[in-house]
Amino acid sequence: MLFPIKVQYYKGLAKALKVAAAVIPMPKPTLFSGADSSLEMCDAISQLGIKKLLIVTDEVLVSIGLLDSITERLSNAGVKFVIYDKILPDPTYTQVENGLKVLRKNNCEAVLAIGGGSPIDASKAIAALATNNKPIKKMAGLFKLRRAPLPFFAIPTTAGTGSEVTIVSVLSDPISHQKTPIIDPKLVPMMAALDGKLMRGLPASVTAATGMDALTHAIESYISVNATTDTEAYSLAATKLIMQNLETAVKDGNNIVARQNMAMASYYAGLAFTKASVGYVHAIAHNFGALYQTPHGLANSIVLPHVLDYSKDEITGRLADLAVASGLKTGSESKQQLANKFIKKIRTMLVEFNIPSQLDALKAEDIPKIAKLALEEAHMNYPVPKYMNQRTCESLILKMAA
């Protein structure tokens, strides 16, 4: 058990975050949604008078021709562009600094991210670095940006991170390998396009893992003690859409309706967690990612049912609400029964999607360090509904070892 005085301190921090989230304006991007909405956004960028863009993406998307329709539309609209495609999963400071060099060398006036969470997070940092003259390390943390970034636009090609609407950019320190978030409302893109058509080629395994990331955002924001009426509505809407569409998107990647609904779900979940935050699932998953390079969605999927089992007695009503939003209520089940049904449903989904329930890379000797870092991250940043101590966290993580 944690010392009650420590719990009071963490609860005080969570309350301060709630006040900050209520007081500080959280902008939303101008949203374009639907098939070919990415092309409509290109026209809107042109109408802003922007003459030259830095497109930030990855080599795979360029090689499969995913950018072609977008670059053609930009050219037709009179917007020049330079493509920087060196972003890898878990982008590092170096990738961002190199992107800034390309931006400056080519006198680009704005940044367009095309890709999953990594290119979008990297783009946010490139746009912020271009106007805030300080090293990335000094931008890490809460509200460190003095000036607004360059105009910045996002086209997500996965439905999971919600980065197109959040105030966060997560980068990796290339030396310590620790993930350092830059958190500032100025990081919200000016415009975003949710174009399900661009997500059709996404492999089933990536669709499943990123979709589970979106579901984790929806759940953790809903069980957060900082949830508000607003964020609750977004969390429930996202959960409903994910439960109705993720399976179809995984099994039939060309189903444009399922793809579009998943893109919207990810966006709603992003709106919810950017205010209400996440919790222990993300704290542990981030450390799996940092230590073993476990993809974020996969790490969340493995951790999620364990954290819900642990927290269940404090959040039974919340889990019951999520079960109802998921369409799991069939009769007059008690809240307890619905909560159990919801956790069971998550485990069933993981089996259906061939997502492992354990992490092969996890080594027993690493568990104390992972638990320590995860608890530090969670207790200083996340308004979790039920606190845990080092020993509990270690035994929880041990259950995830193969």
The least CB distance from residue 280 to Fe ion, in Å, is 13
Q: Which is nearer to Fe ion, 17 or 214 (CB)?
A: 214
Q: Which is nearer to Fe ion, 90 or 213 (CB)?
A: 213
Q: Which is nearer to Fe ion, 195 or 213 (CB)?
A: 213
The least CB distance from residue 19 to Fe ion, in Å, is 24
Residue 306 and residue 311: Cα distance in Å, rounded?
Answer: 9
Q: Which is nearer to Fe ion, 296 or 341 (CB)?
A: 296
The least CB distance from residue 281 to Fe ion, in Å, is 8
| C-alpha distances out from residue 340 to 41, 188, 334, 335, 400, Å | 43, 36, 10, 9, 20
Q: Which is nearer to Fe ion, 284 or 367 (CB)?
A: 284
Smallest CA-to-CA distance from 6 within 393, 375, 300, 397 is with 375
The least CB distance from residue 130 to Fe ion, in Å, is 26
Residues 6 or more apart whose CB falls under 8 angstroms from that of 3 comprise: none
The least CB distance from residue 326 to Fe ion, in Å, is 19
User: Please, which contacts does 326-335 make with residues 24 or more away whose CB atoms are closer than 8 Å?
Assistant: 326/239, 326/240, 326/243, 327/240, 327/243, 327/244
The least CB distance from residue 296 to Fe ion, in Å, is 6
Measured in degrees and rounded to the nearest 5, phi and psi for residue 332 equal -110, 50
Residue 244 and residue 247: Cα distance in Å, rounded?
Answer: 7
CB 325 within 8 A of CB 239: yes
Smallest CA-to-CA distance from 398 within 355, 372, 366, 376 is with 366
Does the protein bind Fe ion through residue 85 (CB under 5 A)? no
| C-alpha distances out from residue 181 to 23, 30, 167, 331, Å | 21, 24, 10, 44
The least CB distance from residue 81 to Fe ion, in Å, is 29
CB 335 within 8 A of CB 323: no
Residues 6 or more apart whose CB falls under 8 angstroms from that of 348 comprise: none
Residue 198-237 contact track with Fe ion, rule CB under 5 A, x = bound: ---------------x------------------------
Beta bridge partners of 193: 32
Q: Which is nearer to Fe ion, 58 or 213 (CB)?
A: 213
Q: Which is nearer to Fe ion, 132 or 166 (CB)?
A: 166
Q: Which is nearer to Fe ion, 209 or 324 (CB)?
A: 209
What 3-state DSSP class applies to 155? Answer: strand
Q: Which is nearer to Fe ion, 301 or 326 (CB)?
A: 301
The least CB distance from residue 161 to Fe ion, in Å, is 6
175 residue type, one letter: I
Q: By CB under 5 A, what part of segment 322-361 binds Fe ion?
A: none
Nearest position to Fe ion, beta carbon: 213
Size of the site for Fe ion (CB under 5 A): 1
Interstrand relation of 80-84 and 179-183 (parallel, antiparallel or unpaired)? unpaired
The least CB distance from residue 318 to Fe ion, in Å, is 19
Smallest CA-to-CA distance from 116 within 171, 160, 68 is with 160
Name the residues that contact Fe ion, by CB under 5 A. Answer: 213
